[in-house]
Amino acid sequence: MKTERINDFVLKIANVNGSGSASANSLLYKSIHHSGIPVSAKNIFPSNIQGLPTWYEIRASAEGHVSRSPRVDFFIAMNPRTIAEDIASVSPGGYFLYDSTRPLNKELMRNDVTFLPIPLAELSVEAFPDVKVRMLMKNITYVGAAAAFLNIELSILQTLLNETYARKPSLAEANMKAITMSHKYASENFTCPLPVRVERNETVSNSIIITGNGACALGCIYAGATVTGWYPITPATSIINVFGQLCQRFRRDADTGKLNAAIIQAEDELAAVGIGIGAGWCGARAFTPTSGPGLSLMNELIGFAYFTEIPVVIFDVQRVGPSTGMPTRTQQCDILPAAYASHGDTKHILLLPANPEECFYFTVQAFDMAEHFQTPVLVLTDLDIGMNEWITPRLSWDDNYKPDRGKVLSAEELEKIEKFYRYLDDDGDEIAARTLPGVHPKGSYFLRGSGHNKYGQYTEKSAEYIEVVDRLRRKVQSSAKTLPPPIIETAENKYGVITVGGCHLAVKEALAELAKDGIKLDYMRIRGFPFSPQAEEYIDAHERCFVIEQNRDAQLRSLLILETRAKKSQLVPILEYGGMPLDAQAVTAKLRGAIQKEISQ
């Protein structure tokens, strides 16, 4: 008998890009979620609009281990062009559902995989004589068969469809018809459900489904951001798509229909960040979303904002570099380029969320910090966090929250003071008060990216210049206290891991895996830069820390080495940078190897 994999399996679907499979796949994903099982989904898509292969991977795990896994327990093959590699990718003992309308090349068959032929196209022809309707229903058909095999309740699918097509009940009906049809066929022709299956859990968590980019956009709304200059780039664009939709909902004047926000599609990233800086200078909360190539283009102006102390929030949804790299694959390869962006001596505040929940809260914090510290703040996420849909704990909002606008002098305050000097830090917190254009004659000053003294005047004098840049260094450093502290889970073992962002699920799963073998490791996840003192203490407490990150050059480790008191030898790099979301098996293996090496030394 086959091993049972109840509420613990990977379902993978092969599609053709641009063929409209998203809603069918998402339906399967959500239905498992609605069955009360922890689940995640990853869309593996090409840099193309139509015709190339894409895959959708769903991992259900009662234990909550939902990082990407390379295993495949149930495959739905909807792309004839990849069928050979698809079959090869199934784990031994797995299942392979395919459209048997056209016969499968016998040579591709495997003995250790159970093939599930369903004549999907044929069934469709019968059920939907109208070609147009049939095309629309093309993908949804496999959902029914999959539901039968995997024991997903039809009622859940029905509920979800009703919600999705609340305004078009006829569509809900047609979809359900397609689903029932293949469900029936599968049930009648095979033993359903399979050992690989869902078993409904009564408690459905109070979660939402949201992408990291969506959560960032929502964060921008809740931070009170009003201006964005942006330029399209995968995987960052959807921050703006969602922000635009949210503005229609939350920022539209009911009477005039006008928006309380300016969304400016710029001509490039130089302009995009320039717009953000201009708006930040004038007192608006402004942001710009981008990815690697855009970050490179923003370098000059980021240095300008740093030196002139203008707040602006930059989202870098990281993708595989260098250069154009793999725009639809994930990496954490801009940590160092972001921390030290621009020529000359600079250093920038980074926020490093791991999931949509943090995307939301950190985004709000990014605006607070940008205005408090009067400097660019970069929020670094990645394609996996940003573009995939995540089951996320419901977000909540503290209605007592008061945005930290930093030291901005009002007209009344200016009225009272003798004379205003832009860069004079009079209370020793390294931050000087600023004023906004248009507010009061006494607040006016001239801002420049060239050498200036603490009064804001042009200078070419060494001592005056040094005074200003030294304060800048201290100012940015002082933000460490305000940044979200690292997540530390136990600090009692000899060895620890350090990780960042979207690695967290895979790393935690790996630690759980190792713990089963009695290998215990401490866990720390960095969430901000400059690093918190707690991060230093954690490193201090360990003989070795394995720094797990998704880039080739150990960028987080480099930053830790340079910016904490850690010894280099304390930090051992563990790197995965092939562009796929981190997988726990690979991490486990590498950790095991690294520990063995430690012990044998």
Partner 1 sequence: MSFNQKPKVAHPSVTKNKEGLTRRDYEGALSTLCAGCGHDSVTAAIIHAIWELSLPPHRIAKLSGIGCSSKTPTYFASDAHGINSVHGRMAAVATGASAANRDLILIGISGDGDSLSIGLGQFAHTARRNVNMLYILENNGVYGLTKGQFSASADVGSQLKKGEKNPFGPIDPAQIAINMGASFVARSFSGDKAQLVPLIKAGLSHYGFAFIDVISPCVSFNDHESSTKSYMHTRENIHEAAHIDLIRDAQTITADYQEGTTKALTLHDGSRLILDKIDTDFDPTDSIRSLTYIRDCARKGQVATGLLYIDRDSIDMHDHGRICDTPLVELPMETLIPGNAALQKFQDILH
Ligand X SMILES: Cc1ncc(C[n+]2csc(CCOP(=O)(O)OP(=O)(O)O)c2C)c(N)n1
Q: Which residues bind to a second copy, rule: CB under 8 A?
A: 46-47, 292-293, 295-297, 299-300, 303-304, 306-308, 320-329, 331, 333-334, 336-337, 340, 342-347, 448-451, 460, 462-463, 465-466, 469-470, 473, 551-553, 555, 558, 561-562, 567-569, 577-580
Please identify which residue in 294, 376, 443, 456 interacts with ligand X, judged by CB under 6 A.
294
Smallest gap from Cβ 355 to a second copy, in A, equals: 23
Binding of residue 45 to ligand SF4 (CB under 6 A): no
Please identify which residue in 152, 194, 210, 297 interacts with ligand X, judged by CB under 6 A.
297
Pick one of ligand SF4, partner 1, a second copy, none as the site partner of residue 258 (Cβ within 5 to 8 A by kind): partner 1
Smallest gap from Cβ 300 to ligand X, in A, equals: 6
Q: Are strands 95-99 and 74-77 parallel, antiparallel or unpaired?
A: parallel
The DSSP secondary structure of 453-484, one letter per residue, reads: -TTS-B---HHHHHHHHHHHHHHHHHGGGTSP
Nearer residue to partner 1 within complex by CB, 292 or 501: 292
* Cβ(86)–Cβ(11) below 8 Å: no
Q: Which stretch binds ligand X (CB under 6 A): 33-41, 138-146, 216-224, 228-236?
A: 228-236
Smallest gap from Cβ 447 to ligand X, in A, equals: 16
Smallest gap from Cβ 22 to partner 1, in A, equals: 12
Size of interface with ligand X, in residues (CB under 6 A): 8
The DSSP secondary structure of 95-128, one letter per residue, reads: EEEEETTS---GGG--TTSEEEEE-HHHHHHHH-
Residues 309-328 that bind ligand X (CB under 6 A): 324
User: CA 581 to CA 577: how far, in whole Å?
Assistant: 9
Please identify which residue in 87, 221, 233, 498 interacts with ligand X, judged by CB under 6 A.
233
Pick one of ligand SF4, a second copy, ligand X, none as the site partner of residue 558 (Cβ within 5 to 8 A by kind): a second copy
In the numeric block, the tokens 């009002």 are attached to 410
Residues 552-591 that bind ligand X (CB under 6 A): none
Q: Are strands 53-61 and 8-16 parallel, antiparallel or unpaired?
A: antiparallel
Pick one of partner 1, ligand SF4, a second copy, none as the site partner of residue 51 (Cβ within 5 to 8 A by kind): partner 1
User: CA 571 to CA 209: how far, in whole Å?
Assistant: 36
Measured CA angle at 114 (ends 112, 116), to 5 deg: 160
| Helix H or strand E encompassing 405 | none
Distances from the Cα of 170 to the Cαs of 115, 156, 161, 165, 177, in angstroms?
A: 34, 18, 11, 8, 10
In the numeric block, the tokens 């509420």 are attached to 7
Please identify which residue in 232, 278, 403, 449 interacts with ligand X, judged by CB under 6 A.
232
Binding of residue 49 to ligand SF4 (CB under 6 A): yes
Q: Which stretch binds ligand X (CB under 6 A): 94-102, 167-175, 226-234, 356-364?
A: 226-234
Residue 212 CA to its chain's centroid (Å) = 4
Q: DSSP state, 315?
A: E
Residue 306 CA to its chain's centroid (Å) = 26
Smallest gap from Cβ 501 to partner 1, in A, equals: 22
Please identify which residue in 1, 3, 50, 188 interacts with ligand SF4, judged by CB under 6 A.
50
* Rama region for 151: left / alpha / beta (φ>0; ψ in -120 to 50; rest): left
Size of interface with ligand SF4, in residues (CB under 6 A): 2
Nearer residue to partner 1 within complex by CB, 234 or 478: 234
Q: Which stretch binds ligand X (CB under 6 A): 61-69, 231-239, 250-258, 303-311?
A: 231-239
Distances from the Cα of 566 to the Cαs of 298, 560, 561, in angstroms?
A: 31, 7, 6
Pick one of a second copy, partner 1, ligand X, none as the site partner of residue 346 (Cβ within 5 to 8 A by kind): a second copy
Measured CA angle at 245 (ends 24, 281), to 5 deg: 140
In the numeric block, the tokens 């409209």 are attached to 20
Distances from the Cα of 116 to the Cαs of 31, 55, 104, 125, 157, in angstroms?
A: 21, 19, 11, 20, 21
In the numeric block, the tokens 């009703």 are attached to 162
Smallest gap from Cβ 51 to ligand SF4, in A, equals: 9
Smallest gap from Cβ 21 to ligand X, in A, equals: 22
User: For binding to ligand SF4 (CB under 6 A), which residues are involved?
Assistant: 49-50
User: For binding to ligand X (CB under 6 A), which residues are involved?
Assistant: 231-233, 269, 293-294, 297, 324
